[in-house]
Structure 1
Amino acid sequence: MKILIIDEMHLGIVAMLQKAGHQVTYSPKITRSDILDQVSDFDGLIIRSKTPMDRELLEKAVNLKFIGRAGAGLDQIDLDYMAEREIKLFHAAKGNRDAVAEHAVGSLLSLFNNVIKADSEVRKGIWDREGNRGHELMGKTVGIFGYGNMGKSFAKRLAGFGVRILAYDKYKLDFATDQVQEVMWEKVKAEADILSIHVPLTPETRDFFTLKELESFGKPFWLINTARGEVISFATLNAALDRGILRGAVLDVLENEKFQKFSPGQKAEFEKLAARENVIFSPHVAGWTFESYEKINKVLVKKIKKAFKD
């Protein structure tokens, strides 16, 4: 097949696809207009998030047999139209699930132990032990919202910390283990000290975490979001932190990740959020490790080979 790669990828994927007999065009700097002009020539597309796989583009992809998404999120892909056209979709959540899980645990421990604040102070000659007294993870109840590849991997990383794990997934059943309790959402809200979000962005999850939803939790809690920023707004985060509903937050994703395109309201709310010492940010890198960069390739190529084997 003729395959077009439109985003930066570990170059190992080109060799793997060529070895499988495919003709590969690697064009990470290609523009959307050029994709629209050229896509009709290709049987497969491999993407990250450069441009939406919307109806406009898919209609021009008259020979398209598959899209390979180098990552987990599918919110920029017109899944209904792909199904209508019987275009196969492969994504590589298994390739970066371990990276996401480790990042979530590491960031939570950093938040609990004031690592960023303490580091900044010591560099300035401030030796404040009491002001940097931390919390222990042991004994806490951790709620997991969404128990797919990422949620399950996060739970696995928590196994040695002596925590109680409650997991909720609206679309999965019978996934409980000796370490993980499968529970209803109301039980998570009633008992969690920490909540980690691991759901895709869909119309159902967009803005799911309203202030009203957070108010229904049984006690103040810490929030981890390595999923999609659009599930909770800056304004909601600030309001919940101001009122003590949230004790702190780990945010690898934001409702708007293009700073230059913030609305005036988003700009003001983000600046308020950024001034808080009990919030840790990272630039959507939880799944972006040197190891996951290669693992994603292997997962995608394996799926493509399996689907189109002779």
Structure 2
Amino acid sequence: MNPSRLSRPRSQLKAVLLEGIHPSAVEALQREGYTHIVTHPKALAGADLLDAVADAHFLGIRSRTQVTGDVLRHAPRLTALGCFCIGTNQVDLKTAMRLGIPVFNAPFSNTRSVAELVLAEIIMLLRGIPEKNAILHRGGWMKSAADSYEARGKTLGIVGYGHIGTQIGVLAEQLGMNVVFRDVEARLPLGNAREAASLDELLEVADVVTLHVPETPETMNMIGAAQLARMKRGSHLVNASRGTVVDIDALAAALESRHLHGAAIDVFPVEPQGNDPVFTSALTRFDNVLLTPHIGGSTSEAQVNIGKEVAAKLIRYSSNGSTTSAVNFPEVALPQHTGRSRLLHIHRNVPGVLAHVNERLSAAGINIAAQYLSTNEEVGYVVIDVDQEGSDPALAEMCQVPDTIRCRILY
């Protein structure tokens, strides 16, 4: 791979946006002068995906497009990748990093949408609405206060107290609920929430448990038969995080025995790819279970915000070099470089690279106006501002440094 990446006019940089990404992303790119934008309403795979990325400088996807190492290696011009969603499991992040491609996502833009859905599900589960609704749809009538409760005074257990978990806690307190939470990281409680000493303690005291954790080896089936048995008899479970977090068969058994009085599940271990395939699950036979097709963050407002957020990150990296909030890359927050040229150098993180860069620039008589460096375990990212008259020679020198992955110049 030729590591150099000379600057081009923004109108010549190609952005490929798949899966019906909201027009707010296109509008944001166009406002900044990126006019070569190709959009597709659905995910692409196989040869179609390879063709689409072959000459792309930026790629935007949602959750269905699988960007493997092979796909990345077929995109020699790819400068950055945007996941217009929260999750990034669909991207080979390590290969992207090794190729010098930062990956950005939208971890916060749909927070409110998920929180509102979960809050609504909590109220409906406590009132037994799913089962009553199902009976009426079949022509029955079940008017009863049995197993129907107010949210006020009940305890909500939040597993994963990040941006979504904290917002749900604040909203739940407005309904008069008591909030307990558990997180692997130290978290500052908001409102009157308190931290449980363990997951088991949370499960034992909560009337409703809601899950907001990422998909990791540690969270795989973290709610299984043993954890469900610890939950209060008559309690409810909500999962709007990742489908692999809950053992579905164990949940079905807990519902069958009426140990749990209900559940709301928005994510599943295996989900249809597209809107046409048939959905199957061991949970479809239960009237007291709310099933939704992974729509926790699917609101018009969230999609607008996601489009703006990820597009802004791609634009900032393209025009400024900042990698703040990249999920796979050393993070560097950069000021503007008006009146100077900015050199971006991505290299393997081995000893001596920065020294080689500085030696070459010094030997060429190039003055460094500012320099920024960040590294992770495999990759280093150094940004150097130089006077414009020395920018082209500086780029040539930097591209000759051993262990260079790629370098680029911003005028």
Residue 288 of structure 2 corresponds to which residue in structure 1? Answer: 278
Relative distance call for 1:182 and 1:52 in structure 2 (3 A) is same
CA distance in 2, matches of 1:29, 1:98: 25
Matched, 1:161 2:175: yes
Residue 179 of structure 1 corresponds to which residue in structure 2? Answer: 192
Relative distance call for 1:308 and 1:175 in structure 2 (3 A) is farther
Match of 2:309 among 289, 296, 299: 299
Match of 2:128 among 110, 114, 118: 114
CA distance in 1, matches of 2:138, 2:48: 51
Which amino acid letter does the alignment assign opposite residue 129 of structure 2?
V
Q: Percent identity at matched positions? A: 28
Taking structure 1 as the reference length, the TM-score comes to 0.87
CA distance in 1, matches of 2:84, 2:38: 16
CA contact (8 A) 1:113 1:132 kept: no
Match of 1:20 among 32, 45, 51: 32
Which amino acid letter does the alignment assign opposite residue 78 of structure 2?
L
CA contact (8 A) 1:191 1:219 kept: no
What is the RMSD computed on CA atoms of the aligned residues?
A: 2.4
What SS class does the counterpart of residue 257 from structure 1 fall into?
coil
Q: Output aligned runs, 1:56-67, within 5 Å.
A: 56-67=70-81
What SS class does the counterpart of residue 59 from structure 2 fall into?
strand
Superposed CA offset, 1:143-177 (max 9, x none): 1111222222222321211111112221x213212
CA distance in 1, matches of 2:141, 2:261: 24
CA contact (8 A) 2:118 2:240 kept: yes
CA distance in 1, matches of 2:234, 2:243: 21
Residue 328 of structure 2 corresponds to which residue in structure 1? Answer: none
Superposed CA offset, 1:222-248 (max 9, x none): 100111222223311111223344221
The structure with the larger Rg is: 2
CA distance in 1, matches of 2:125, 2:203: 21
Name whichever structure is richer in helix by fraction: 1
What SS class does the counterpart of residue 157 from structure 1 fall into?
helix
Matched, 1:203 2:217: yes
Residue 248 of structure 2 corresponds to which residue in structure 1? Answer: 234
CA contact (8 A) 1:55 1:81 kept: yes
Q: Unmatched 5+ residue regions in structure 1?
A: none
What SS class does the counterpart of residue 103 from structure 2 fall into?
strand
Residue 392 of structure 2 corresponds to which residue in structure 1? Answer: none
Which amino acid letter does the alignment assign opposite residue 17 of structure 2?
I
Which amino acid letter does the alignment assign opposite residue 18 of structure 1?
Q
CA distance in 1, matches of 2:14, 2:28: 14
CA contact (8 A) 2:243 2:267 kept: yes
Instruction: Please identify, of 213-222 and 15-24, the stretch whose mean Cα deviation from structure 2 is larger.
Output: 213-222
Match of 1:55 among 69, 92, 111: 69
Taking structure 2 as the reference length, the TM-score comes to 0.67
CA contact (8 A) 1:107 1:250 kept: yes
